[in-house]
Amino acid sequence: MSIGRHWDCGIYNYCTGNLWRIFVGSTPKKFPMAVPKRSEFVFDKKLLGISLKICTPIIIQQLAVFLGMLIVQGFINGLGNASIGGMTAASRIEAFILLPVQALGNALSIFAGQNIGANETDRMKQGTRFGITLSIAITALLSMILLFGGKGILGLIIGDNKEMILNGYSYFHVCLWFYPINALIYGLGGVLSGVGDTLVAGIHSLASILVKLFVTVLLIGKLGILSIAIASCLEWCVASAIVVMRYKGNKWQSKAVVKMVQN
């Protein structure tokens, strides 16, 4: 096994080294514009300010999400092994279900940024409607599959532990009706971030995490794992309400990083 691993490393290093020489080594000659000049490495205070303005709310969003996950996991750990195993499996499947929504949200972010910069607001709105509709349809389909086959899917991860499967499915049975709401969160959230209105990302993340923690603390002792499901659904409702109101308010149209190009 050790010899095999050495062979793997050797082949990998040989291939990557040659690819580096072929593609990167020839870049300065074939694509000189892709290689920055020494004179271009200049500190730009204005550009730094714009970068911090855009990325800081996104950083806050990610910190809030992962901090909330850690705190909620602490509550789940107090419910016993069956709940821990059921929620772990449920979380993995939930991440898979929401993956198309997140991918479409990222695509809409790029799409919105390009179109708002080209002064194509109508095309951006049309693409946003199509992307969110597609996202809702995909998520609804996956939710229906989970409704009728959720126990079997959980069994593929957990095995034949019926108590863990029951705990995981009880979480799904509540949350699957709310998964399509994430199409609004990631879709409109991606659009708003793409046009430069990133502040709303930090706002809706903090607000939704606070709601989730409050509901979890309030109900965990009475409902157990169901309190996590209820808290997650309310979290999504709050986040979607914030991004929808922001998008409908049209204030994002004044947040473009660069001025619109006139046709």
Which two three-digit tokens encode residue 77? 């750990």
pLDDT at 12: 59
What's the pLDDT tens digit per position in 152-167? Answer: 888 888 888 888 888 8
To the question of pTM greater than 0.85 for the whole model, the response is no
What's the pLDDT tens digit per position in 3-16? Answer: 544 555 666 565 66
What's the pLDDT tens digit per position in 171-219? Answer: 888 888 999 999 998 888 888 888 877 777 778 888 888 888 888 888 8
The residues near 28 (Cβ < 8 Å, ≥ 6 apart) are: 35
Residue 31 in 3-state DSSP? coil
pLDDT at 144: 92
| One-character DSSP codes across 128-161 | HHHHHHHHHHHHHHHHHHHHHHHHHHHHHHH-S-
Distance CA 211, CA 234 (A): 7
Half-sphere exposure of residue 154: CA atoms within 13 angstroms, side-chain side: 29
Spatial contact of 92 and 176, defined as CB atoms under 8 Å apart: no
Query: Which secondary structure element, helix H or strand E, spans residue 34, and what is its range?
Result: none
Identify the weakest region by mean pLDDT among 40-54, 82-96, 213-227. Answer: 40-54
Residue 119 in 3-state DSSP? coil
pLDDT at 141: 94
Which two three-digit tokens encode residue 133? 């509709």
Q: What are phi and psi of 49, to 5 degrees?
A: -65, -40
What integer best gives the mean pLDDT of the chain?
79
Spatial contact of 234 and 217, defined as CB atoms under 8 Å apart: no
Distance CA 79, CA 225 (A): 8
Which two three-digit tokens encode residue 188? 């409109």
Spatial contact of 155 and 102, defined as CB atoms under 8 Å apart: no
Which two three-digit tokens encode residue 242? 């914030």
